[in-house]
Amino acid sequence: MKLEGIQKQMDYNDDLINQLRELQKEYEKLGTTGAAGWYAVEEQIKNVQSEQSNLGGAAGILSEQIKQTKKYQGEMNALSDAVGNFGSVFSNIGSGFEVPELDVAGTIAQSIATLIRGAMEAQAMSTEYGGPFAWLSFGAMAMAQVAAIAAQIHSISGYASGGIIRGNSRVGDKNLARVNAGEMIINDV
């Protein structure tokens, strides 16, 4: 039960106790003829107060869980930021030096960072609001992220369709080319 629901139930119980106390006053006016009704209402008040105490305990436990989850989420978000920054560095190095493997490693690290952050948000939402919907949205986001990683890896798998090898140097064999048996490299100069 989410915290807001517990608070609404506690407010309802407070109103109910007030109404029962008013009813008790009416029974008091009847004297001895109202004594049985007064005791029955007193029993109802005790039951509602007991429920109120249980709800207060549940609210305290849930509040503590939310607090711990947010603390854990903050720590994991810091980890996510570090992994994401690490990935950005790798991607920049990979792009700058034309090393596609580093670019892919950077993209994968950034995707892992996004997954960590998404998992923590789903955990926080399910703790605070209850229900599986936060985890379902995280699952959809995770699948999209995995598809993006696969597309990135596939895009740098080589020059399977042919093309010109890009680079800064036209002399000295400084550009990397991966070839399979039966493929041919033709100089464009």
pLDDT above 80: residue 175: no
Largest Cα–Cα distance in the chain?
Answer: 114
pLDDT grade for 11, boundaries at 50, 70 and 90: very high
Residue 9 lies in a domain: yes
Residue 102 lies in a domain: yes
Write the DSSP assignment of 116-178 as a string of letters.
Answer: HHHHHHHHHHHHHH-SSHHHHHHHHHHHHHHHHHHHHHHHTS--TT--PPP-S-SSSS-S---
Is the CB of residue 118 less than 8 Å from the CB of residue 138? yes
Residue 179 lies in a domain: no
Is the CB of residue 152 less than 8 Å from the CB of residue 114? no
100 or 49: whose pLDDT is higher? 49
**Of 17-21, 99-103, 112-116, where does the model show the most confidence?**
17-21
What's the one-letter identity of residue 127? T
4 or 133: whose pLDDT is higher? 4
The pair of three-digit structure tokens given for residue 56, joined into one six-digit string = 């207060």
Residue 170 lies in a domain: no
Residue 30 lies in a domain: yes
The count of structural domains within the chain is 1
Residue 29 lies in a domain: yes
Question: To 5 degrees, how large is the angle CA 82–CA 88–CA 89?
Answer: 90
pLDDT grade for 159, boundaries at 50, 70 and 90: very low
Residue 39 lies in a domain: yes
Query: Which pLDDT value is given to residue 141?
Result: 75
Residue 160 lies in a domain: no
- Domain of 98 in residue numbering reads as 3-155
